[in-house]
């Protein structure tokens, strides 16, 4: 999730659509930009590795993009039970992009889903909690790649 999505104005020209393989390079750019602008632990992978990772997962999970003026400014990648990625480009944060993507995930999975968020990413935690996700578990981060404390959040309809 991104840092400043907790309550800005809605955007009327926002379009959501399923991602296509040609979107992968832009998704990687959005992810890195959002991570760099957030209070998350630093990413451990350069652009080409993030791009390869997203491409390798394409088709095994559902991925939707958010576009403003035909430009991808955010995306969500999720499975039946997990929201794996929700990133919004810093210049589009606080404009309803993250909320629209999260609402889409909720609509696609009305029985609920889970996600992990870093303890340090307070803006993302506030964003998710304001939209009905609740804390289920905290860890010391020993099992994540960044080795940073994290929180398992759950949304139940």
**CATH classification at residue 56:** 3.40.630.30
Tell me: pLDDT of 66 over 90. Answer: yes
Query: Is 9 a member of any domain?
Result: no
Per-residue confidence (pLDDT) for residue 7, from 0 to 100: 42
* Residue among 95, 51, 59 nearest 77 (CA): 59
Looking at the chain, which runs of residues are DSSP E strands?
14-18, 62-68, 71-78, 83-88, 113-118, 134-139, 150-155
This prediction has a pTM of 0.89
Query: Is 133 a member of any domain?
Result: yes
3-state helix, strand and coil shares in percent for the chain, rounded to the nearest 5: 35, 30, 35
Give the range of the structural domain holding residue 97, as residue numbers without chain letter.
Answer: 14-155
Q: Which helix (H) or strand (E) holds 111?
A: none
Cβ neighbour number for residue 43 with a 10 Å cutoff: 16
CB-CB contact of 57 with 31 (8 Å): no
Query: Is 1 a member of any domain?
Result: no
Confidence band (pLDDT; 50, 70, 90) for 2? very low
pLDDT in tens, 80-113: 999 999 999 999 999 999 999 999 999 999 999 9
- Residue 119 vs residues 2, 16, 25, 136, 138: alpha-carbon distances, Å: 13, 29, 28, 13, 8
**Tally of domains within the chain:** 1
């Amino acid at each position: 999730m991104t840092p400043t999505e907790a309550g800005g104005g809605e955007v009327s020209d926002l379009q959501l659509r399923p991602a296509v393989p040609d979107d992968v390079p832009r998704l990687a750019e959005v992810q890195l930009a959002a991570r760099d602008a957030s209070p998350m632990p630093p990413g451990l992978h350069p652009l080409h590795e993030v791009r390869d990772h997203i491409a390798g997962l394409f088709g095994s999970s559902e991925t939707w993009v958010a576009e403003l003026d035909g430009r991808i400014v955010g995306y969500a990648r999720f499975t039946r039970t997990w929201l794996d990625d929700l990133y919004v480009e810093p210049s589009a944060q606080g404009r309803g992009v993250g909320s629209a993507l999260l609402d889409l995930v909720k609509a696609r999975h009305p029985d609920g889903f889970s996600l992990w968020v870093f303890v340090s990413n307070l803006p993302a935690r506030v964003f998710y909690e304001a939209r009905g996700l609740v804390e289920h578990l905290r860890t010391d981060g020993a099992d994540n790649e960044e080795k940073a404390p994290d929180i398992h959040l759950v949304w139940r309809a």
